[in-house]
Structure 1
Amino acid sequence: MSISITALRVPSSLDADDAADFRLLGDLGRQVCDEQVGLPDLSPSAAEMLSEWQDPTDSLHLGYVARIDDAVVGMVTLAFAQEEGAQTAEFDILVPEANSGRGVEQALLARAEEDAVARGRSILQTWTLHRPDERDRMLAPATGWGRIPATPLADVIADAGYTLEQVERNSEYDLRSDGTEVRRMLAEASAFAGPDYRVREWTMPTPPELRDGYAAVLARLSTDAPSGDMDFVAEQYDADRVVRREATLTAAGQLVSVTAVEHVPTGELVAYNELLVAADRTGVTHQFGTLVAAHHRGHRLGTIVKCANLLRWRELVPTSPIVSTFNAEENRPMLDINEAIGFVPVSYAGAWQKRL
């Protein structure tokens, strides 16, 4: 048996003659998420990924396709942050169950590492998905927070020298539930925060007068969010990058709602929450970034942005049934808010890292 690995072409459009493998990437991601945790919507479609892959300004995306006898048996994707001095390479191995155990995962992992080294990166990172099960063999991260059941892919990654640095909880909120508790929590948190803080809301694109402030709080996500010993580059944002990011997020018809909190005395945006749904408004809503700037924590701003955006979302997209979100297990302040709102855990992710 011989495994051939070739570069994944990034087409000009999904209708282009060379787009078949890229379309398959979207299908494969959904298949793998379904097989691993029963949640295919955790993976974006090819249409949702294409714009980001086509523009390498802020992040370079690459992929490789593994074949046996001309049949696709798996893929690996890589993302390289483009900030000056960035040392990380993030990758995602996608091998369906039917092809697991044939050496495909190892071959794709080796190719990802080879590419990362060739591009001067010395820190490799990847994530694995896990069901919320208790099994005979559980894996604990370096943070000491949370546990995940061992899986064949996790074993491949661990055998290659990667350390499980962090566990993230994937939670869902039922948008069809009664919103009374969310309204109560928002009212109490707003009263606690007081008049120095006010809510700002918009649907992407961000109004020009808010882009600089939004850029500043977006940049904080890479440095202020709990990340264990995962080494993330400090992302650099300005108004132009905000425009590029939003063009990418909405390119395939996605809708994004943003709720932020402004610190009135300074005019600074100090917290935000983003909710996104695909062109199919009956699908799962994904919570993207959520952050309270470190120097403004303790004022219940996390509760404000989450609750206000959920209530706004009920009006914007009444057909979406669920909100899905990921949070680090050690991020108890944010998990406390989620649990009080009504989010329940449905799966977990393991964050793995290797330093070369």
Structure 2
Amino acid sequence: MNTLLIEELALPATPDADDAADFLAVVELNNAVCRSDAGTDDLSQTPAELLAGLRDTADEIQRVFVVRESGVVVGCVIVGHATAEPTSTQFDLMVLPENWGRGLENALLARAEEETRTLGRRVMQTWTLHPGQAPSPTIAPATGWGAVADTALSGLLARAGFTLEQVERNSAFDLQGPMDGVHAALEASLSAAGSDYRLVEWTIPTPAELKDDYAWALSRMSTDVPAGALEIDEEIWDAARVERREARLIEGGQTMSVAAAQHVPTGRLAAFNELVIGADRGEVTHQFCTLVLREHRGHRLGMLVKCANLLRWRDVAPRSPRVSTFNAEENRPMLDINEQIGFVPVSYAGAWQKKLA
């Protein structure tokens, strides 16, 4: 390219606003890159979903930087950082294969690092997407669990000083198939959990009496989930943060169902599972968070909340074809549950990290 100008994108008020053309181009680019890298359409986002997250800056600030060629967006990097947690930035670098090799990817990566340094943060993190059948050669993460294809983006990150810290498996469950095994697994897990735990379920917004405890359980996602050597700040959640998160989802046209196990002696939530779908309930369902708090493990609560929510989901979104979810390859307890229920591998993601000097 003769000239390379990186500009911050001004977000439109709505996806159909008069000034939304460049934003819509970013959405299209994001979805095309996901499809190209992972080999599946399951990871696409709608304009309403992406815009709701970008415009809400209470808990995370995300800046969108684009490169245009002849007025057309041909590259983008979105750089985000949590407002309460101080350590890292996370970024998504988007350039289609036909535009690699002309300097776009290098310039956008440099812009992400510049933004990180300006913020005074010392860690950069990003995730690469990879097909289910990884061609050779492959790269193994620092954890030793799993491997991903050695792609152009992986090579760029490695040369820039990033380390592949973790591999995540993207799995899918067929929602239109028989549910006999799910029913049986739920009954077995309810029996194993015993009278100390009871199932509670809701569709957001979360009932007022559960918000504080749900906030506590969500905060434990930052401390109780396998993360390899990724530097993850302990997150601080309260009822207001839960409300803001759910407002973003609802603004983006999304519906979320939560199935949780409540510890009867204390009244505290011990495990939970989230399923989310967009405005079109005939599209793919996404599993967001699933967690069994450390102190409640060993009672089959992971199986309990996953199976309960899958069965509940049949009423929420009966036309959705499948559930898509990500789990760390070293998280064998959760992958064992997935495999027993019937989830199958579809694609993979690599978690990369760079510590700035």
Say yes or no: TM over 0.5.
yes
1:68 shift after superposition: 2.9
* Cα pair 1:32 1:40 within 8 Å, conserved: no
In structure 2, distance between residues paired with 1:116 and 1:87: 10
1:253 shift after superposition: 1.8
Partner of 1:212: 212
Please state whether the residue corresponding to 1:248 is helix, strand or coil. helix
In structure 1, distance between residues paired with 2:87 and 2:300: 35
1:119 shift after superposition: 0.8
* Cα pair 2:61 2:80 within 8 Å, conserved: yes
Deviates more, 1:94-103 or 1:273-282: 94-103
Deviates more, 1:63-72 or 1:155-164: 63-72
Letter in 1 for 2:124: L
Letter in 1 for 2:324: S
Please state whether the residue corresponding to 2:42 is helix, strand or coil. helix
* Cα pair 1:79 1:90 within 8 Å, conserved: yes
Partner of 1:180: 180
Asked if 1:74 is matched to 2:75, the reply is yes
Partner of 2:283: 283
* Cα pair 2:25 2:73 within 8 Å, conserved: no
Measured against aligned partners, the alpha-carbon deviations of 1:203-226 in whole angstroms (never above 9, x if no partner) come to: 000001110010000000011100
Deviates more, 1:106-115 or 1:29-38: 29-38
Letter in 1 for 2:5: S
Please state whether the residue corresponding to 1:189 is helix, strand or coil. helix
Root-mean-square deviation (CA, aligned residues, Å) is: 1.0
Partner of 1:317: 317
Measured against aligned partners, the alpha-carbon deviations of 1:158-193 in whole angstroms (never above 9, x if no partner) come to: 111000000000000000110000010010011011
The percentage of aligned residue pairs carrying the same residue is 54
Letter in 1 for 2:38: V
1:134 shift after superposition: 4.0
Please give the TM-score of this superposition, normalised by the length of structure 2.
0.97
Measured against aligned partners, the alpha-carbon deviations of 1:51-70 in whole angstroms (never above 9, x if no partner) come to: 22112110101110012343
1:255 shift after superposition: 1.0
Partner of 1:4: 5
In structure 1, distance between residues paired with 2:101 and 2:170: 27
Please give the TM-score of this superposition, normalised by the length of structure 1.
0.98
1:8 shift after superposition: 1.3
Please state whether the residue corresponding to 2:262 is helix, strand or coil. strand
1:89-108 correspondence runs (5 A) = 89-108=89-108
* Cα pair 2:26 2:73 within 8 Å, conserved: no
Partner of 2:137: 137
* Cα pair 1:146 1:167 within 8 Å, conserved: yes
* Cα pair 1:164 1:352 within 8 Å, conserved: yes
1:15 shift after superposition: 2.6
* Cα pair 1:25 1:46 within 8 Å, conserved: no
Structure 2: 5+ residue stretches without partners: none
* Cα pair 1:88 1:122 within 8 Å, conserved: yes
In structure 2, distance between residues paired with 1:27 and 1:115: 24
1:1-356 correspondence runs (5 A) = 1=1, 2-84=3-85, 86-356=86-356
1:19 shift after superposition: 1.8
In structure 2, distance between residues paired with 1:42 and 1:206: 26
Measured against aligned partners, the alpha-carbon deviations of 1:308-331 in whole angstroms (never above 9, x if no partner) come to: 000000121110001000000000
Letter in 1 for 2:103: G
Letter in 1 for 2:227: S
1:38 shift after superposition: 2.2
In structure 2, distance between residues paired with 1:17 and 1:112: 28
**How many pairs are equivalent?**
355
* Cα pair 1:4 1:68 within 8 Å, conserved: no
Measured against aligned partners, the alpha-carbon deviations of 1:127-168 in whole angstroms (never above 9, x if no partner) come to: 000112243311000000001111111111111100000000
In structure 2, distance between residues paired with 1:38 and 1:280: 22
Letter in 2 for 1:340: Q
In structure 2, distance between residues paired with 1:132 and 1:237: 35
Structure 1: 5+ residue stretches without partners: none
Measured against aligned partners, the alpha-carbon deviations of 1:59-94 in whole angstroms (never above 9, x if no partner) come to: 10111001234332110011101115x110000001
In structure 1, distance between residues paired with 2:345 and 2:178: 19
